[in-house]
Structure 1
């Protein structure tokens, strides 16, 4: 019989109330609570705790509290990663973030979705799809990225945008749902 974690990893519907799935979330919640309790005047301690949470990270990691995630080990960030206050990453599937990425306040990156039918939600079903964010990306405040989205290199996501589809390189997107506004220079 296939375990709920195996279903999750395969991108199939899984039960998020499963004991092993719930244990991942509980571990992440504990670590996030510890991170969020560290005073902003102690950035070295914050960075050390964030390194414990993440799956991998590059040089120059800066994450402001509050930070919340579902697992942590599925989050992989490159060099020069900066996140402002109140970032939530639901990382039941992998979240790959490139180099030189800045994320504004109150943003959310979500890999998890739930069924559109009540019977599926009553069974506590979820499905996770990876999110990929390229290099040299900037999110304005209150940006939301939905499951399965790939964001290219040199992309700016305007404040308040909800990204529901892939974004190509060198693009400014804005709106709900986010739509291309114009091409960006590579300088």
Structure 2
């Protein structure tokens, strides 16, 4: 079953919507079956894993590798570039689109969230929610335990330090970390001499 376009449009249109729209639960269940099959696939059967990723995700690039288990609301909201890698326990709350650029690396226990719920109690009681896309640029490194919230864009080449809470856009070519995540410095000449702390390349 392909997720009906009507349901995708509801989730991806700005504003508050109800997550019990007719047919939504059935469509999501089909996606979760694909996710279950991927998470229980054998490491010595890469062809099956690749086929399942192509069926599950909106896009899956060449030589992109995901370590099971992956957790996802849908899967069909996530667009993977080429040569990406994600470590264990990636969580994708992908009611809206999540776009991940080529060569991006994602550490273990990372959560990418496109969906929130209104502060208004009456709307939450009626299963109200809203969804805003997340965009991860090309060649980004997201450290272990990072959470990225709805509507955030992270620019090309940037590094997000472990356990950061990313609540706003991060520009390209910077190192950022913290809760909330803030830009700490640009990527500069020192980074081409030292790979970690005071350890030089080739030393």
**Normalised TM-score (structure 2):** 0.85
User: Please, which of 12, 16, 19 is the counterpart of residue 16 of structure 1?
Assistant: 19
Q: Separation in 2 of the partners of 1:60 and 1:6?
A: 30
What are the residue-to-residue correspondences of 1:23-172 with 2, within 5 Å?
A: 23-172=26-175
For the residue of structure 2 that corresponds to 1:180, the secondary structure is strand
**Where does the alignment leave 5 or more consecutive residues of structure 1 unmatched?**
none
* Number of residue-to-residue matches in the alignment: 185
Summarize deviations over 1:155-174 as a string: whole Å, max 9, x none.
11111011100000001111
After superposition, the CA RMSD in angstroms is: 1.7
Displacement of 1:28 = 1.9
For the residue of structure 1 that corresponds to 2:23, the secondary structure is helix
Distance 1:6 1:76, change over 3 A: closer
**Where does the alignment leave 5 or more consecutive residues of structure 2 unmatched?**
1-5, 193-203
For the residue of structure 2 that corresponds to 1:17, the secondary structure is coil
Distance 1:45 1:4, change over 3 A: closer
Write out the 4+ residue segments of structure 1 that deviate beyond 6 Å after TM superposition: none
Q: Separation in 2 of the partners of 1:39 and 1:57?
A: 19
Q: Separation in 2 of the partners of 1:4 and 1:27?
A: 14
Q: Separation in 2 of the partners of 1:90 and 1:24?
A: 15
Displacement of 1:141 = 0.6
**Normalised TM-score (structure 1):** 0.92
Summarize deviations over 1:88-121 as a string: whole Å, max 9, x none.
1111111111110000001110100001121111
For the residue of structure 2 that corresponds to 1:19, the secondary structure is coil
The 8 Å contact of residues 24 and 70 in structure 1, kept in 2 or not, is answered as: no
Summarize deviations over 1:48-82 as a string: whole Å, max 9, x none.
21121111122111001111212222211111010
For the residue of structure 1 that corresponds to 2:60, the secondary structure is coil
